[in-house]
Structure 1
Amino acid sequence: MDTITALRIGYVLSAFAILVIYAIPALRDRFLVYGARDALAGNNRHPHREQNVLEKTLDYFASMKVPHSWFKHFYMLSVALSMVWLQQLYTRGPILQKVVSGTSTHRSSMSFNQLVLCWTLLTIQGSRRLYESMTLEKPTVSQMWVGHYLLGLLHYMAMGLAIWIEGGPALMSTDEPLGDAMVSAPCVTTFIFLPVFLLASGLQHDAHFYLSSLRKYTLPTHPAFQSIVSPHYTAECAIYFSFMFLAAPGGQVVNKTLLAAFVFVLIELGVSAAVTKRWYMQKFGAYPIEYKWKMIPGIW
């Protein structure tokens, strides 16, 4: 199994595992909620009766938590790995050569231009989210399940690799540090999906800035939240959606590795949006929350 196949399978299996956990209430209420949502779920899952062995075991694993503020570690890791891969990409370093040697040489390749663009955009995304986590997030005692934390770290480790791995053949075909990046003209896909990335990034930043200004556990009233419970998740999905087109290898519509990453992000955030909507309805009442879409208007 080569590196690209391993990344794709890892993302698909992770997405499937999240769906399984979400489909089983006993797992969903223990492992997919945190903070105030966790407290509410905890009240719902502890009836006045003796727990059986399975329930006690699940509670034991669910009690393994880390501070919610550790979310910033995801973006620290993302930015740090972007710098590591920059050095490796520029110098054709040994780590890069080892990774590329583990991929099939028969695959079509991203152009060097695409590789540079997508690395740059992922670095911008990670840097912006790190800035927001350091400046906008309020102090909190909320916690998250350690499995969620570890999965997030794995995701950002994988993305640091997935964003360029299908450009391995083009990368190793030249010794020039910048390859053909200075002479190749941007393709039509770039003109279409680069604005998608920029608009989604702006929307997400605006939503995060607004949420940081709210009093704790207040119902959002910003226009972006009028018909969608979690528009910042919608923007995140749009960012990953743009990546899979911007990084499409020659002759392909999308980058299949980043398609797998997009599916993972779509399911992970879709589940989080569903949990958020349920919590809003329990805390603030069904009206008008029940008429809002969770994350994707007209679909979810």
Structure 2
Amino acid sequence: MELGLVELLRAAWIAGTLPILIASLPCSWLGSFHGLVLGFARRGKIMQSSSHRKFTVPQRFFTHFYVVAVAWTTLLLLGTSIYAYRMTPIVSEPFFYSDLGSYLAGRSNIFSFHRSRLMSLENRYRVWLSVFLLLLMEVQVSRRLFETAYVFKYSASARMHIFGYLTGLFFYTAAPLTLCCTCAPEVLKFGINEVSEFILKGTSSMQNIEFHWWDFVNPLLKLGWCQWIGAVIFLWGWIHQHRCHAILGSLREHVGKADEYVIPRGDWFEIVSSPHYLAEIVIYAGMVFASGGADLTIWLVFGFVVSNLVFAAAETHRWYLQKFDNYPSNRVAIIPFLC
């Protein structure tokens, strides 16, 4: 079941990324395919400049993404956290370190005797790492829900393609699941057993459950330097994305008409046209780093994020250049000094 879930997620991310990569190739004979993918990706001001308005929904439906994301991520985080706390506590492993020393000294038979303890430790680390990554995702989607509700002021005429809407729902369902996919089947079995026990025994099955905050926080603190560097990278992108979204949200307050636009300025807008997309890439790069970089599925999520945002940013940059004659010439689309 575990391999099935991982493989299904990998196939989904590849299937979502390949069309964008193909459409991005500079080949004239791919022009119609590029236009098709671009039509699916258009939204907001870019959609308004297009005559293709069939099969669209209001752009304010962006809120749906983050309602789903917060609810789903919270559910996964709670389930994985309870499983980690109850079933895989990280405690001191004196035998593990003595066995490791014996192995390095050449006494591999002793190390083999305790191999099950090593595998158990790896399993605990994997589960608590999933909790850590889901915490980062929870912080991200919670802020995005707040911004869609209170920061952005979507124009009544702003639209997005229904395919883009469905893609957003897919992303915010699959991305949190990807962060815990290696232990999700175990968590599901644990949850089913807990619910079954509660149904059979009622509240009496919960009487012996004790929760101590330090026992929950301590394993997260022991994960390693890689996770905390990843968290710092995540926070760096998180802060800048919030600043850029605040700038975009404030623009609506300074224009007289719903379809009137001004050039955004400040923060990373001084170097790229879509700094909120750049910040999103930094955020997910932080998650990849925090994961340790060994999980192919998380790399595929990152590949989808980068390809999707670079593709959208290129079109946004072209729109700015066509819209404003005085658009800053030093700005590029999304990657500073590159594109």
In the superposition, the TM-score normalised over structure 2's length comes to 0.69
- Counterpart of 2:150 in structure 1 is 135
2:278 counterpart of 1:269: no
**Post-superposition offset of 1:29:** 5.0
Please report how far the alpha carbon of residue 27 of structure 1 lies from its aligned counterpart in structure 2 after TM superposition. Answer: 1.6
Report the counterpart of residue 204 of structure 2 in structure 1: none
1:113 and 2:128 aligned: yes
Q: CA deviation at 1:180?
A: 7.4
Q: Secondary structure at the match of 1:111?
A: helix
Say whether 1:200 aligns with 2:241: no
Higher helix share: 2
Pairs within 5 Å for 1:245-256: 245-248=289-292, 253-256=293-296
Report the Cα distance in structure 1 between the residues aligned to 2:247 and 2:170, rounded to whole angstroms: 29
Pairing 1:211–2:220 present? no
Note the C-alpha offset of 1:88: 2.9
| 2:72 aligned to which of 81, 85, 97 | 81
Matched residue, 1:50: none
Structure 1 contact 245–254 (Cα < 8 Å) conserved: no
2:58 is aligned to 67
When residues 158 and 146 of structure 1 are mapped into structure 2, their CA distance, relative to the original with a 3 A threshold, is: same
Q: Which runs of 5+ in 2 are unaligned?
A: 25-29, 84-118, 195-208, 255-259
**1:299 has 2:314 as partner:** no
Displacement of 1:278 = 0.5
Aligned to 2:14: 12
Q: Tell me, yes or no, if the aligned pair for 2:247 and 2:265 is still in contact at 8 Å.
A: no
In structure 1, distance between residues paired with 2:245 and 2:325: 24
Using the TM superposition, name which of 211-220 and 21-30 deviates more. 21-30
Which residue of 36, 40, 46 corresponds with 1:27?
Answer: 36
Q: Distance in 1 between matches of 2:183 and 2:38?
A: 41
What is the DSSP-based 3-state SS (H/G/I as helix, E as strand, rest coil) of the residue aligned with 1:18? helix
Give me the identity figure in percent.
28
For residues 245 and 171 of structure 1, the distance between their equivalents in structure 2, rounded to whole angstroms, comes to 24
Instruction: Give, in whole Å, the separation in 2 of the partners of 1:169 and 1:153.
Output: 22
Q: With the length of structure 1 as denominator, give the TM-score of the two structures.
A: 0.78
Does the CA-based 8 Å contact 1:244-1:262 persist in structure 2? yes
Report what 1:189 is aligned to.
Answer: 226
**2: CA distance, partners of 1:270 / 1:201:** 18
Shift of 1:121: 1.0
- In the alignment, the residues of structure 2 paired with residue 255 and residue 137 of structure 1 have an alpha-carbon distance, to the nearest angstrom, of 34
Q: Determine if contact 1:7/1:158 at 8 Å carries over to the other structure.
A: yes
Q: Does 1:241 align with 2:232?
A: no
Which of 1 and 2 has greater Rg? 2
Counterpart Cα distance in 2 of 1:35 and 1:256: 33
Task: Note the alpha carbon deviations across 1:110-146, whole angstroms, 9 max, x for none.
Answer: 5333122111111110100000110011141211000
CA 1:118/1:245 → structure 2, altered by over 3 Å: closer, same or farther? same
Gaps of 5+ in 1: 43-58, 93-104
Q: Determine the C-alpha separation between the residues in 1 that align with 2:188 and 2:279.
A: 34
Relative distance call for 1:80 and 1:223 in structure 2 (3 A) is: closer
Q: Offset of 1:147 from its aligned partner?
A: 0.2
Q: Deviations over 1:15-41 (max 9, x none)?
A: 112234555353255322223322323
Cα distance in 2, alignment partners of residues 165 and 181 from structure 1:
22
Task: Please name the residue that 1:98 is paired with.
Answer: none
Aligned mates of 2:165, 2:13 — CA distance in 1 = 16
Matched, 1:40 2:68: no
Matched length: 263
Does structure 2 retain, via aligned residues, the 8 Å contact 1:37–1:279? yes
